[in-house]
Structure 1
């Protein structure tokens, strides 16, 4: 297919503000860890090393990856708690490292994406993400929109003394909404000893006596999501999937069978989906290419100067790195 034809299809698919799905591939360009990096940090832990199945876990991580290894090895409950702590600490350290270096300049590609989705009526963007990091919140704050996560409050605030222009801007901000549904939890979420769920923004460490509310890799994500706040957050994400007219997935591998049923059901009914990926995962191919979805485009890295694009019944390689969000936004 000619490049102009591909662009025409893309513009048609995303003409209505798409729901945004962010996976780990959307965060890694900003220094957030990969599964491989998390696995290496877990191997270093004395608490994990003391588990009788430590050697089996390391062997499994090398052959099956982190999530497959945790599922295949019978680890002690205290080891699983230690893995949760390591995952939180590693992701949090990388997130805060990005924030410390860029306190007033969130990821510009995500900011631009949100501006683009917010621009038309009804001035609303929806993000569904499996990531724990705060990059989506940083970016939403930069747009001046009101962020809805299920918790009240904001992360980044600027001094702006009252004036007429500020009042106009605040009115507009109340009209612009960014819903961010973090289906696997967030670095900011914790359980207080009395069972209360609270959020403490930008914590450098896990506060004393609190437990982080993140679902670490592994089969626990299927059982833990029946509890709050995950249950309600996933319900909100499901409703958003049903209401959306199109979908833009950035760095999402389609490996979360408990999260994506509504999304897959909607694209099977003809709603368009566009996927940006470093490498198309087997699950992505299974659920989109092999499933006979009618309206899809998948942008995948081909080499350092080309992008491979898959569509319904065709695939083509084009000049340019359009699987990267910042470059993709130049053609959308």
Structure 2
């Protein structure tokens, strides 16, 4: 593998038919806390909120794992939070991520911050049915990146301040006119649109009188999000999570190729479909700071994947099923540097 061949491979993915999958690594690069920081925040906050002995005992078992260096996701698998503890985890998580999200938002508006994903979107010619982004993140960075590029972010809600959940008609909010097509009637014209599917929820989503809405500026701790652990599989089958999960799986099945950014392959909601497609050889690029063990096994076992990750101080390791090579003084694993280098 030489660098010119690698650049050509990357360029071929920036076209229609590519589905983008975004994990926490991209948000982490923009200042949103990751699982390690969230675990520390939970350890600071949760003990101050618990009163009932059963809740204290339940959290104590989880905290014991965290103190012993076990990751948050694994700790919440080892000990299933009861309903009270889970609710406190959700509220603390939403507040913590929400504060960081608001800071990024203000930096975009007043500090001229350019999101990596904004640069990424500009490399696509988005037209027709638009493009699809699937993210397991709660934050709104994808939506911010879309709108700073004058692209509609369709999250399956319609409206601005108290947006209703209307997955069958939300795309028509991007309709800007019609073209007459003789005997075939009329064809709708759409402005650039990105469908953003969020199977784990979003800081903007809220349940009011058992009805889901998207309300950007509502009380953050009441956000509809699925926290890590076993309970997320139960919650993933309720509205609006179920539609987002189902639509995401459909998009994964129908995609021609994937670009996967900062995702560690730790979510069964998506991976039943995704891994099946990867093993079938569907072309895939992975950009991440470091590959998880599961991701590395997939790269080595699937002929269609090319992965880019950090190596040494300022180098990039490129891996596929045939082997690996390191390119010195090149940060292709970082979206900003990759786009500058390739485009």
Per-residue CA deviations over 1:277-299 (Å, capped at 9, x if unaligned) read 1110012123x224x21111110
Q: Which residue of 2 aligns with 1:316?
A: 325
Q: Distance in 1 between matches of 2:3 and 2:275?
A: 27
Matched, 1:274 2:285: yes
Contact 1:130 1:183 in 2 (8 A): yes
Matched, 1:27 2:32: no
Matched, 1:327 2:337: yes
Q: Which residue of 1 aligns with 2:211?
A: 196
SS at match of 2:21: strand
Cα distance change of structure 1 residues 251 and 39 upon mapping to structure 2, 3 Å threshold? same
Q: Which residue of 1 aligns with 2:194?
A: 178
Map 1:1-332 to 2 at 5 A.
1-14=1-14, 16-45=16-45, 46-48=48-50, 51-62=56-67, 63-103=69-109, 105=112, 107-117=114-124, 119=125, 122=128, 124-153=130-159, 174-192=190-208, 194-203=209-218, 205-206=220-221, 211-286=222-297, 288-290=298-300, 292-319=301-328, 320-330=330-340, 331=342
Q: Distance in 1 between matches of 2:217 and 2:104?
A: 12
Per-residue CA deviations over 1:225-244 (Å, capped at 9, x if unaligned) read 11111111111111211221
Contact 1:187 1:214 in 2 (8 A): yes
Instruction: Number of aligned residue pairs: give it.
Output: 311
Any unmatched runs of 5+ in structure 2?
Answer: 162-174, 179-188
SS at match of 2:56: coil
SS at match of 1:28: helix
Any unmatched runs of 5+ in structure 1?
Answer: 156-168
Contact 2:30 2:115 in 1 (8 A): no
TM-score (norm 1): 0.86
TM-score (norm 2): 0.84
Q: Which residue of 1 aligns with 2:168?
A: none
Q: Distance in 2 between matches of 1:183 and 1:75?
A: 20
Per-residue CA deviations over 1:141-162 (Å, capped at 9, x if unaligned) read 122122210111358xxxxxxx
